[in-house]
Chains A and B, each alone.
Chain A
Amino acid sequence: MRSPLRARFNPAELGNDLRVAFFLVFKAVTRGNKYTLVLTILVTTLAFINIIFTSSIMNGAISKAYQQAQENYVSNIVILPAVDDKYINQVQQLKTRINTLPGVVSCSSRYSQSGLIRYDPEKDNLDVREKAWNIKSIDPEEEIKVTNLQNYMIAGRYLEEGDRDQIIMGREISGGYGASFQISSLKGAQVGDQVTIAYGNGVKRDYKIKGIYNTYFPLADLNVFVTEKEMESVLGLHNRASEVLIKTDGSVPERVYIDRLRMMGIEEEQLNVWMDFIGYISGLTQTFDIVKTIVTFIGLLVAGVTIFIVIFIATVNRRRQIGILKAIGMKERIIILSYIFQAVFYAFLGIIAGLVVIHAGLVPYFVRHPLPMPIGLVSLALVRQDMAIAILSMLLVSVVAGFIPSWMVTRQNIIKAIWG
């Protein structure tokens, strides 16, 4: 069956039909029941906020995870040793060259060595807690230009250049301060406590815990750091590194920096972007994306069904009037267009009101009161593309919600519509 909207395409005629449909809607809205209008717009506003709010929280969580990975875990790009090498050689010269690349903010090098951390809180060998972990080294001065760990100390202080017998560790290693993985941690190590690290190369050293940090990002909070000088003395190495972290200004995609680094002679296999290191977080964000899509779809369905019900009730209540309009010669498509306009009008006002509530109410509130999540403090992240999709989808859904009931009623025989 041909749609009445496509019955005959004549631009001038269609223009006039649109004019009549718009006239009917304008009068129906301005002279119709104001309470029904306000209630309908309120419902569409809530439906729109529901779509945007849920997806913005998801986006906020995803973007927080990505931000945490870049600011507190591995920065933007990581250079690893070549496949057959254990370390990156001539690392000071390499870092000097990297720092000259346009768009590079800074870089830092780290050693990484496996070790067994032994913590005996009472020093009586009765309650010894041991944990095998990768011990990493940092040059404190260099590191603060690449990661923000120094800003997240919850106890004690950050490492200094000359520290040799002191370490800092993440909350998840210490096992205190509300750690999430307490069972697999040192179960309550605190600043000032003594630990012994037996490195994988057989060297064993005692350290005092100088500071404990908490970024709320589990991957970052599962690290133990000593100074670079200390690690070089443990390993007996100099001017090498297990990894080089590069912080970029983000002006161009990471792929561009990778290409520039390749042109410096670094092999493709050695170059990694931060996304390669976030493991399960990456899977989680993919899950969030799926959940976001499902929630958006359900939200749109709710909005669509709401508008559908409003238009359906309006058309059923006006069935007789619609029959009369047909009897006096009104084309079906004018009637359908008028109800589509009405539905789009409800959706449009709902979107506008929703945007006002989101921008003037929800966003400022969540900036002041972010939600604590396992990946950090999350506030709403409004993604322009998601907003555009939600707005367009809502308008599209309203077109369908306006079309179906009006099409159903206009299909009825005139006599049946008027006299039942």
Chain B
Amino acid sequence: MIIEAKALKKTFGGAVPVEALKDVDLQINRGEFVGIMGPSGSGKSTLLHMLALLDDPTAGKIIVDGTDIATLSSMQKTGFRLNKLGYVFQEYALLPELNALENVYLPLMMLGAPAREYRRAAMEMMETVGLGKRAKHLISQMSGGEQQRVAIARALVNNSKILFADEPCANLDTKNSAIVMNLLRNLCDERKQTIIMVTHEPEHMQFADRIIWIKDGMIEKEEKAG
């Protein structure tokens, strides 16, 4: 098991407090491709943010790769995210001043890898996502699908144990969506990459091993997919 969440709660304060997550218990195995689905406002993105250490739960416990997240300081969480987690956002989230290769090797650079090593590793990852020939292109010169594949390469270049994807195909057309989803499936099959993906597209269910349905901040049901 790589992720275990127990009695996870998240309440957003304000004039009228909103309970986004209510006592969620969850377990995710290594090498598993899990899809989190549910209607808008159901709490699926909030759950992903908690598991990905982007936000703190109001109550409950999260253990990622054997580490109780509650014991980590802010700085340690930053290091944890850099070393063990990878993210793909729906709007690609790449740095426009960097070319594709530079975007990909940035996490390795942050880890202190030597230039030759991070260039080689990033280039390998660009080949893996099928963009070896587009490595020197600026982000603005790439299509949405290519940008999302660069984002996936960046998320995995540091050999991250878990890849979190937040609606990675929300801004892509059908053709590019299929390319990205196939890429994620292949990564799971060939590299045993753990992937947790939030999506509201029913056609993406077939790519996951398991689907967790969220409704009103609670797990409504879980089902095998694929």
Question: Complex: how many Å from CA A407 to CA B87?
Answer: 24
Partner of A12, one of B49, B112, B154: B112
Q: Does B39 count as interface, using CB distance less than 8 angstroms?
A: no
Q: In the bound complex, do residue B93 and residue A321 qualify as a contact, i.e. CB atoms below 8 Å apart? A: yes
8 Å CB interface, A10-27 against B? 12-13, 16, 19-20, 23-24, 27
Q: B55 to A415, Cβ gap below 8 A?
A: yes
Which size class do A's interface residues fall under?
20 to 34
For residue A339, give the distance in angstroms from its CB to the closest CB of chain B. 14
Min C-beta distance of B99 to chain A, whole Å: 9
Instruction: Identify the closest chain B residue to A27 (Cβ).
Output: B97
- Given A321-B93, A415-B55, answer yes or no on A329-B110 (Cβ-Cβ < 8 Å): yes
A324 to B88 CA separation, bound complex (whole angstroms): 10
Closest to A4 in B: B75
Q: How far, in Å, is A20 (CB) from chain B's closest CB?
A: 5
User: Given A19-B109, A413-B55: A328 and B154 within 8 A (CB)?
Assistant: yes
A188 vs B180: C-alpha distance when bound (angstroms) = 96
- Of the residues B85, B109, B138, contact of A20 by C-beta under 8 Å: B109
Q: Taking the complex as formed, is A123 at the interface, i.e. its CB lies under 8 A from any CB of chain B? A: no
Using A19-B109, A23-B109, A326-B78 as known contacts, say yes or no to A414 and B55 having CB atoms under 8 A apart: yes
CB of A321 within 8 A of CB of B112, answer no
Q: How far is the CA of A332 from the CA of B154 in the complex (A)?
A: 19
| Contact A414–B97 (Cβ < 8 Å) | no
CB within 8 A of B97: which of A32, A328, A330? A32
Most interface-central of B49, B79, B110 (chain A CB within 10 A): B110
Q: Who on chain B is nearest to A15 by CB?
A: B112
Please state if A330 and B110 are interface contacts (CB–CB under 8 Å): yes
Do the beta carbons of A328 and B81 come within 8 Å of each other?
Answer: yes
A-B residue pairs in contact (CB < 8 Å), sample of 25: A12-B112, A16-B109, A16-B112, A19-B109, A27-B95, A27-B97, A31-B96, A31-B138, A320-B93, A324-B87, A327-B54, A328-B86, A328-B87, A328-B154, A328-B155, A329-B78, A329-B79, A329-B80, A330-B78, A330-B106, A330-B110, A331-B75, A334-B110, A415-B55, A418-B93
- Top-3 shortest CB links A-B: A329-B82, A324-B93, A329-B81
Which residues of B come within 8 Å of A, CB atoms? 49, 52, 54-55, 75, 78-83, 85-87, 89, 93, 95-98, 102, 106-107, 109-110, 112, 138, 154-155
A interface residue numbers (CB < 8 A to B): 7-8, 12-13, 16, 19-20, 23-24, 27-28, 31-32, 320-321, 324-332, 334, 413-415, 418
